[in-house]
Chain A
Amino acid sequence: MSGENIRGDGRKNNELRPISIKLGVVKSADGSCYLEWGKNTVLATVHGPRPIFPKHMADSEKAVVNYRYRMASFSVPERKSPVPAKRDKEISLVSGFALESSIYTEKFPNTVIDVDTIIFSSNAGTRAAALTAATLACADAGLPMKGLISAVAAGRANGDIILDLTKDEEDADDAVDTACAVLMPQKEIVLLQMDGFVEKEDWKKMISAAMSGAEKIYELQKKVLLDKYPLEGEINE
């Protein structure tokens, strides 16, 4: 992957957009995370584990994980109806699988863990942003997990294999777009969705780009978690 190409927003091929993260922003939730990623803004909350209703939905072996991906009506240029579209439901499903694989759900039979994410403004890569925030909200809530889910999009635009596409890059003629979520530090891929037309060699470069992008996301996520609890310092009133 060439490091010399400069993209529309000044980034190199393997550069991420700026990301800023805050934990514990919604007090009534068990865990929460607010994340800005380029022009994306996303909020994730976790409620649970808690008793599940109706009772017939319960799994006697483990917690049920309910993941919801939603977009605010004003998050995209043309107003989107608040009613969840098929796309939103599909993303909720596969993202839920990804997150669930990281949580020790067997520790909480007959319960539910509700993970809600909402995109307030959108510019490509929202499902990755939502999952990246959701895993931090789970860690913030103290859920026992095997690791963190680090998610990022990789693809191709204008002939180059690139990391973290913007909306403009997604709209390019030869665009290929792959959403990838990885359980870290194990490097196990738990979400992979792709759109486009790509030869095997480029596909492998894309996956490799996604994996190295996920590593960068993981480092960021760890730093945010560690920064939440400074061990020294003055007592805050």
Chain B
Amino acid sequence: MNEILKIISKDTIEEYVKDGKRTDGRGLLDYRNIELKQGVIKSADGSAWIKLGDTEVIVGTKFVVGTPYPDSPDEGSMSLNLELSGIASPDFETGPPSIASIEYGRVVDRVIRSAECMDFKSFCLVPGEKVLMLFIDCYPINAAGNLIDAAEIAAVAALLDTKFPKIDENNNIIQGEYVGKLEVNKIPISITFEKIAGKLIVDPNDKEEYASDTRFTLGIHKDSILACQKSKAGSFTEDEINYMIDVATSKYSVLEKVISDANDNKES
């Protein structure tokens, strides 16, 4: 039934966008209201909760001891997972991961991984044998559009909230005890665009996502591009791609501030 409601809205959304507006009163390049809080899940090593418009995601991090990859024996690693479940939307079914959840998770992973914002060498316990692996698990609770950006921002906030576990003499994690914080040396931001009626919008809500046939996500750090993903069956021109890069780099500092404000407020 959600499906039919999105179908009905399509014409109205297109009309509004042609006029440079959106049905919820925003401009084409305006974000919805963002609330971000860290430290919300005490059993995680780090966590964050985000509300982007009505889209809500909870992210938690956990260190696990594992073996290093053969080609990087003195480095640990990160792994990001995004779970779409029936909680977040009547359209999602719980079971094996849907292709959408796989794609969203991998895009968010790439944005953060490409930023090289963590020193994986500091995760090494015994070179060639034991390293720390950092799992970042994202749980959408309400899917009202732009899960990729919401999950990415919350994931970065969760990383900033993450504490380094205390390790015993057998290189096992002592649960619940920590030695200092995870060092995160950059804040990468993901910015997703949808194309509707030939115009480009940021931060789509769920009905706008449905009305669009082309999506582009950029991972940005200041004026650099970390990652990108074009999805869905439509196409972009070269000018449109370069326009989106200009818009995304101009949005960076505002979104970075959301994360650093949440982080500073938590510490004070």
Q: Do A and B touch (CB < 8 Å)?
A: yes
Measuring CB to CB, which residues of chain A are less than 8 angstroms from any residue of chain B? Answer: 26-29, 39, 41, 43, 45, 47, 50, 68, 70, 72-79, 82, 114, 116, 118, 120-123
Q: Could you jot down 7 A-B contacts, CB within 8 Å?
A: A27-B144, A28-B142, A29-B87, A39-B43, A50-B90, A120-B43, A120-B139
Tell me what chain A mostly uses at the interface: helix, strand, loop, or mixed.
loop
Residues of B128-179 contacting chain A, CB below 8 A: 135, 137, 139, 141-144, 175-176
Number of interface residues of B (CB under 8 A): 33
CB pair A47 B90 closer than 8 Å: yes
B74 in contact (CB, < 8 A): no
Specify the chain B residue showing the minimal Cβ separation from A119: B43
Q: CB < 8 Å: which of A26, A79, A123 contacts B141?
A: A26
Measuring CB to CB, which residues of chain B are less than 8 angstroms from any residue of chain A? Answer: 1-2, 41-45, 47, 54, 56, 58, 60-62, 64, 81, 83, 85-90, 94, 135, 137, 139, 141-144, 175-176
Complex interface: chain A residues within 8 A of B90 (CB): 28-29, 47, 50, 114
CB pair B42 A72 closer than 8 Å: no
Q: CB < 8 Å: which of A27, A50, A82, A120 contacts B41?
A: A120
Q: CB < 8 Å: which of A45, A47, A73, A123 contacts B60?
A: A73
Complex interface: chain A residues within 8 A of B88 (CB): 26, 28
Pairs of residues from A and B, 8 with the lowest C-beta to C-beta distance, nearest first: A74-B60, A74-B44, A121-B43, A79-B62, A77-B175, A116-B86, A73-B137, A47-B90
Shortest C-beta distance, B135 to chain A (Å), equals 5
Specify the chain B residue showing the minimal Cβ separation from A47: B90
Most buried by A among B47, B61, B62: B62
Q: CB < 8 Å: which of A68, A70, A73 contacts B81?
A: A73
Shortest C-beta distance, A156 to chain B (Å), equals 25
Shortest C-beta distance, A145 to chain B (Å), equals 20
Complex interface: chain A residues within 8 A of B94 (CB): 68, 70, 116
Q: CB < 8 Å: which of A28, A79, A82 contacts B143?
A: A28
**A28-B144, A43-B141, A68-B94 provided; 7 other pairs, C-beta below 8 A?**
A27-B142, A28-B2, A68-B86, A70-B85, A114-B90, A120-B139, A121-B43
Report Cα–Cα, A73/B64, bound state, in Å: 12
Report Cα–Cα, A29/B56, bound state, in Å: 13
Report Cα–Cα, A75/B43, bound state, in Å: 6
Report Cα–Cα, A77/B47, bound state, in Å: 14
CB pair A27 B85 closer than 8 Å: no
Specify the chain A residue showing the minimal Cβ separation from B96: A83
Specify the chain B residue showing the minimal Cβ separation from A114: B86
CB pair A28 B89 closer than 8 Å: yes
Complex interface: chain A residues within 8 A of B64 (CB): 78-79
Report Cα–Cα, A41/B139, bound state, in Å: 14
Complex interface: chain A residues within 8 A of B44 (CB): 74, 121
Report Cα–Cα, A234/B178, bound state, in Å: 47
Complex interface: chain A residues within 8 A of B86 (CB): 45, 47, 68, 114, 116
Complex interface: chain A residues within 8 A of B144 (CB): 27-28
Most buried by B among A43, A72, A78, A116: A72
Specify the chain A residue showing the minimal Cβ separation from B56: A26
CB pair A77 B60 closer than 8 Å: no
Report Cα–Cα, A41/B47, bound state, in Å: 14
Shortest C-beta distance, A89 to chain B (Å), equals 11
CB pair B42 A121 closer than 8 Å: yes
Complex interface: chain B residues within 8 A of A75 (CB): 41, 43
Q: CB < 8 Å: which of A47, A74, A120 contacts B61?
A: A74
CB pair A82 B81 closer than 8 Å: yes
CB pair B175 A116 closer than 8 Å: no
Report Cα–Cα, A78/B173, bound state, in Å: 9
Q: CB < 8 Å: which of A28, A50, A118, A123 contacts B85?
A: A118
Shortest C-beta distance, A67 to chain B (Å), equals 11
Complex interface: chain B residues within 8 A of A28 (CB): 2, 54, 88-90, 142-144
Complex interface: chain B residues within 8 A of A47 (CB): 86, 90
Report Cα–Cα, A77/B1, bound state, in Å: 39
Complex interface: chain A residues within 8 A of B1 (CB): 50
Specify the chain B residue showing the minimal Cβ separation from A53: B93
Report Cα–Cα, A45/B22, bound state, in Å: 30
